A and B are shown apart, each in its own frame.
Chain A
């Protein structure tokens, strides 16, 4: 009887504690809040993920509170300040008429000192690769053989085991 009571108490505690935690006040998420700067950036400009230079910059420097600027009727600039002390900032231009997933949306990239003021007359670092498959390959985006090969081996192994089991029966 004592054991049952103990189990009952454990069950009650297990049920109540997470419930209480969940019911605690959680901060309201307002529509304009977005998420982490890099997530907002890649949501708005998904082709960033396929650009080697920008992704390398993000890996090295992170992304602080980035912002856009208007260049002219056809182009905008996107300014990525570093999130750490890497001493660099990256600016890239985008073609307004390009669609969201258009791999040619990003037209030019500048990497300059963190304290420099950007101008579109500065030297660029962008090699314009327009084929998204090449961009994806350069960015290392492809099926990971480290994952695929073991899966195939396991599948074949299971097949052999079941075949042997069936033969025995």
Chain B
């Protein structure tokens, strides 16, 4: 009986002291002494520590030793110069991946002309088709149409180069008659683990003869953009590409989408892991966007191009849309999520976030709140019943009661997949 009373007394004391220990608020979370320690132990947890953390692997620049592992790839001397301003993008004949670039005739290039001694015929490009959207660990074939401006037949090599990374791929040509053109295809290898994603200045140079005399070199007016590889051994989408595809919300793969891809690549330039890239994009979108609540913003989900054409204004779903489009354009599978919860006063709240697929796990990202990999942030704000819905396959034709093709979609234009109250958020 005595033992029971003691136990009962202990239970009663614990019942009184637990609320006492919790008598704090969020800006002063830890009372002093053991009460604070207990509260820390028993209180809400920052679950971000349990989410996937992918350490950033420093990228080592390609050197004579590492290049041996990549057949067909050569290290380019840092002394090699790539002058700009000798070419221009042919807008009329440019498509999504291969952009036509026209070159200035070498007669207008005094430096090249100086090198063009009588012994070595000047071989220079006329135009080319360049694949600028590089997927890591794949081959991006570059096509250059070269012309022999000299008086003798020429043979040599065309090197296509990632100027920033200092490596390239050579392709030989031979017996190019004076005044003739020849098409040279260069199977440029995008070496993923010797490079970062983002903006990649492209260049190439042409050599002639056994001494490899350089008769032309230059940097292209269009930058390459390196993205992650989504095959099974790299960064696959578990939903078979649903979280990488374009739609009426996300426009990056089309020719008008170069702007989207280029902006994403600039924002996440020189990041070397999907975790680092996604985190950089989260911050970028938060800084880029201007929170503006209008009837249009509240009623519709705006497409990436609509948002860009309207000075990057919007509310949380526009923030999430921009982050999804940027992430997908760099090859990070991403899904747009609607999230609702009940706040501490009992009212419902609607919000939009996204998740990035990284290292086999879905990682939370909220560019509106500028928080990443922290799915517990809503619970820590004393909200309950965090309920998630994936919105996918946006098609402006699906819901017929609103205008089509204006870049403004209703949520009825999308397919909703309820996820319910996911444990990571609750």
Give the B-binding residues of A (Cβ under 8 A): 29-37, 39-40, 43-44, 49-50, 65-70, 76, 96, 99-100, 132, 136, 139, 141-144, 147-148, 151-152, 154-155, 158-159, 162-163, 165-166, 169
Contacts and interface: CB of A to CB of B under 8 A. Distances in A.
Contacts of A169: 1-2, 5
12 contacts: A31-B337, A31-B391, A32-B314, A32-B316, A33-B298, A34-B351, A35-B349, A39-B343, A151-B19, A155-B13, A162-B9, A166-B9
Nearest to B337: A31
B384 interface: no
A166 B20 contact: no
Interface in B305-334: 314-318, 320
B16 A154 contact: yes
Contacts of B391: 31
Contact of A68 (B9, B24, B290, B318): B290
Interface stretch (B104-112, B168-176, B367-375): B367-375
A67 B293 CA distance: 7
B292 interface: yes
Nearest to A49: B27
Which interface class (under 10, 10 to 19, 20 to 34, 35 or more) fits B? 35 or more
Interface string B130-167: 00000000000000000000000000000000000000
B370 A99 contact: yes
Contacts of A159: 9, 13
A100 B16 contact: no
B290 A34 contact: no
Contacts of B320: 31
B217 to A, nearest CB: 35
Contacts of B368: 44
Contacts of B290: 67-70, 76
Given A69-B290, A147-B23, A151-B19, A29 B2 contact: no
Given A33-B350, A34-B315, A158 B12 contact: yes
B23 A30 contact: no
A31 B388 CA distance: 10
Interface string B1-26: 11001101100110011011001110
Given A30-B411, A68-B291, A136-B28, A36 B20 contact: no
B34 interface: no
Contacts of A165: 5
A12 B41 CA distance: 45
B85 interface: no
Contacts, number: 123
A143 B23 contact: yes
Contacts of A29: 340, 348-350
Contact of B350 (A34, A49, A143, A154): A34
Contacts of A162: 5, 8-9, 12
Contact of A141 (B12, B25, B340, B411): B25
Contacts of A33: 298, 349-350
B314 to A, nearest CB: 8
Contacts of B20: 148, 151-152, 155
B338 interface: yes
A43 B13 contact: no
A27 to B, nearest CB: 9
B301 interface: yes
A69 to B, nearest CB: 6
A33 B12 CA distance: 44
Contact of B28 (A100, A142, A147, A158): A142
Interface in B9-57: 9, 12-13, 16-17, 19-20, 23-25, 27-28, 31
B13 A143 contact: no
A49 B349 CA distance: 19
A48 B357 CA distance: 32
Nearest to B410: A30
B351 A31 contact: yes
Given A31-B301, A31-B339, A67-B291, 18 more contacts: A30-B350, A31-B316, A31-B317, A31-B350, A32-B301, A32-B318, A32-B350, A67-B293, A96-B286, A142-B28, A143-B23, A151-B16, A151-B20, A152-B20, A155-B13, A155-B20, A158-B16, A159-B13
A4 B293 CA distance: 57
A100 B317 CA distance: 19
Interface string B280-291: 000000110011
A158 B352 contact: no
Contacts of A132: 27
B70 interface: no
B291 A44 contact: yes
A43 B381 contact: yes
A141 B23 contact: no
A139 B292 CA distance: 28
A67 B292 contact: yes
A35 B351 CA distance: 9
A29 B418 CA distance: 13
B297 interface: yes
| CB-based closest 8 A-B pairs | A31-B338, A31-B352, A33-B350, A162-B9, A32-B317, A29-B350, A35-B349, A68-B291
A150 to B, nearest CB: 10
